[in-house]
Amino acid sequence: MTLAIKQVTKKYKDFVAVNALDFTIEQGEIFGLIGQNGAGKTTTFRMILNLQETTEGEILWKGKSVHKLDRDFLGYLPEERGIFPQMKVEEQLYFFGTLRGKSKKELKPDIDYWLERFELVEKRNDKAETLSKGNQQKVQLIASFIHKPEFLILDEPFSGLDPVNRQHLMDSIIYLKKQGTTILFSSHQMDNVEELCDHLCILKRGVSLYAGGLQQLKEVYGKIKLSIRTDKTFDELANLTGVNRVQKTKDGFTLFLEDESYSEEIFHYLNGGKYMEKFSLDYLSLDEIFKLKVGEPVE
C-alpha cells in the first residue's frame, strides 16, 4: 500500500467530524472519497496535508507518518480556488513550482507541455483574473502538480467546468495516473468517480459506509436495473412479480428488480417470442447506490 488511513478520528470538542476512518490506496491508483457536504472529506484531506492534527489514529505514506515527511511528495487542488488574480499565468506556474524546490530550468519544459495540452499557450502572459472560470481551474490544476508530486489530492476538481474542459481534466488525470501519480479525489458528480476510480470510500457524517472496490460494491446489489422498450403500460409493469419500482424514461422504462433472477421471466412475458428493441439488464449506477446507502439526495 502507498497511503494508509488507520482508524483516524477527528474531534472538535463534542463534535466528531471523522470517526474511525480506515482505508488504503495503492501506488498509481485513483481513489474516490465521496459524501455529501459536511461528510468529512475536506477534514480528511487537511489531516493528510498536516493542516489539522488527527485526534486518534495515524496516516502513513509508504509506511511512514505523513507528518514526518517532506511535503513536496504531495500536491493539492483545494475546492476553494487559490491562484493570484493579478499574476500572469506562466509567472504563476513558475512561482508555485519554485516554492516546491524546482528550478525554472526544470519547470520550463513541463509548463510548456501543460500550457499546450490545456490550450493555454496564448494565455500564458494574461493575468489570471482575465481568464474564464474553466481556464482559471486549469491553471490551478497545473499548479497543483507542476512539481511532479507522488501523491495528488483533488478536491472537487470538476466543479463548474463545461463538458469540453471536463474532458480535458479527465484525460489529464488519467495521464498522471499512467505516469505513476497516486491520486485521491472527491466529487459530487458520481459519473466522474465511476469513470475514474477502481476503489472508493463513501462517507456519511464522518463515518465510512463502504471502503473497497467499485465493482465489488455493485455486485453487492446485483444486476437489478432493467431498461426496456415495450408497449406495456406503466401499471402493467409495476404489477409484475419481482419488480420493486418502475421509472418512465424518454424511450421506454427502467424496472428496478428485487433480484436479477426475475429478469428471465419478465423477458418471456414482454417479448412473447418476438423481437425486442431494448432489453438491457445492468448494475445500478454509483449515483443510485450512493443514494441508497446515504439515504439522502446528493447536495
**Looking at residue 292, what DSSP letter applies?**
H
Please report the pLDDT score of residue 296 as a whole number: 55
Please report the pLDDT score of residue 81 as a whole number: 73
pLDDT tens-digit series, residues 5-19: 999 999 998 899 999
The residue to which cell 493579478 is assigned: 86
Q: How far apart are CA 16 and CA 14, in angstroms?
A: 7
Q: What would be the CATH architecture of the domain defined by 3-213?
A: 3-Layer(aba) Sandwich (3.40)
Please report the pLDDT score of residue 219 as a whole number: 94
Report domain extents, the chain: 3-213, 223-282
Angle among Cα 80, 84, 86 to the nearest 5 degrees reads 140
Structure-block grid coordinates of residue 72 = 513536496
pLDDT tens-digit series, residues 221-250: 999 999 999 989 999 999 999 999 999 999
Name the nearest CA neighbour of 129 among 183, 86, 191, 73.
Answer: 86
In terms of C-beta density within 10 A (0-12 exposed, 13-18 middle, 19 or more buried), how is residue 162 classed?
exposed
The residue to which cell 479527465 is assigned: 170
Please report the pLDDT score of residue 179 as a whole number: 92
Angle among Cα 265, 270, 276 to the nearest 5 degrees reads 115
Residue 297 binned pLDDT confidence (cut-offs 50, 70, 90): very low
pLDDT tens-digit series, residues 148-176: 999 999 998 988 788 888 888 899 999 99
Q: What is the mean pLDDT of residues 79-90?
A: 87
In the predicted model, is pLDDT for residue 299 greater than 60? no
Q: Whole-prediction pTM value?
A: 0.89
In terms of C-beta density within 10 A (0-12 exposed, 13-18 middle, 19 or more buried), how is residue 109 classed?
exposed
